[in-house]
Amino acid sequence: MEMNFRTPEFWKHAWAEYLVDNAQGKAFSNQNIWNLVAGGYRKNESDLQKRQSADETMLRGFLEKGVLNEGIRILDVGCGPGTYAIPFAKLGAEVVAIDVSSAMIERLRKETPPELAGKISSIVADWHDIDLRARGLMHAFDFVFARMTPATTEPEQFEKLNLASKKWVYSASWAGARHDTPMDELWRELTGARRERSNSHFFYAMNFLMSSGFFPEVQFHQIQWEKNEPIEQAFAFYSAFFANAITPKPDDLDEQIRAFLKSIEENGEIRGLKKGAIVEMLWDVSVAPMWL
């Protein structure tokens, strides 16, 4: 039976088909990768101040829209080291922070100021596996927040954002093609092919929401992140990533990665650059769908 493109079932099916060969996405969801990078995550960026300024602008927007208020409950999906969970708590919210990486959660706990310890509770878990009802998380939050996380790139996991919220949901992800160096160059070195860099799951997510009767506020932003990291830290990340991202895996994968990084290092560091567009979507699940 042919499905109607006006239904959410159509877009969930199309989204799942798009992801069939998404080895890169699965590699980025690997717990080991995030455990490896947790210690230096958002510490080695030469433009960290610019990113922090953008984060402050985002938080002001939430305050102005009435999304963020003192005393609300927030679920932070893919929370990392508390990049947003801690600021949310400082603004008076009660935060439940979830991440697949135990190292990220450990860093969150260490960096949470003592006066905020009672406002942030953390869970080490894979969002894919969480049973919202069993954990008491079904429609339990005023605001569900998922920014730049691989946890919600699949349709079922994205839909769980709606199921956890009773009011607001926010999602942000890459939109379309992006430039990522030295990842792109290393990919070509290892595979002999150009790396496919298009991130289009946001297109399916947006249409899934609209076909479900929700109309998100959507914003696109061009961004650029620069990062310098020690060569050994870069090697650990790329080794874990490519072990899961390419098939067949070369027997000398680690040797090839190390040789490539040695060829581009500067004073023991690897210079990285990511640039492209991100899409931010904000919607209200408490508004009754218009035609459902």
Domain ranges of the chain: 8-179+195-229+279-284
Q: Are 12 and 155 in contact (CB under 8 A)?
A: yes
Residues 169, 144 contacting (CB under 8 angstroms): yes
Q: Mutual orientation of helices 253-264 and 183-191 as an angle, nearest 10°?
A: 140
> What type of residue sits at position 227?
K
Q: Return the CATH number of the domain spanning residue range 8-179+195-229+279-284.
A: 3.40.50.150
Report the alpha-carbon distance of residue 78 to residue 147 in Å, rounded: 8
Tens digit of pLDDT at every position of the chain (292 positions): 457 888 999 999 999 888 876 656 665 667 777 887 777 776 655 556 667 788 899 999 999 999 999 999 999 999 999 999 999 999 999 999 999 999 999 999 999 999 999 999 999 999 999 999 999 999 999 999 999 999 999 999 999 999 999 999 999 999 988 889 999 999 999 998 888 766 778 999 999 999 999 999 999 999 888 888 899 989 998 998 898 888 888 899 999 999 999 999 999 999 999 899 999 999 999 986 654 4
What does the alpha-carbon distance between residue 24 and residue 189 come to, in Å, rounded to a whole number? Answer: 16
Q: Do 92 and 121 contact (CB within 8 A), yes or no?
A: no
Does the pTM exceed 0.85? yes
Q: Are 129 and 155 in contact (CB under 8 A)?
A: no
In terms of residues, how long is the chain? Answer: 292
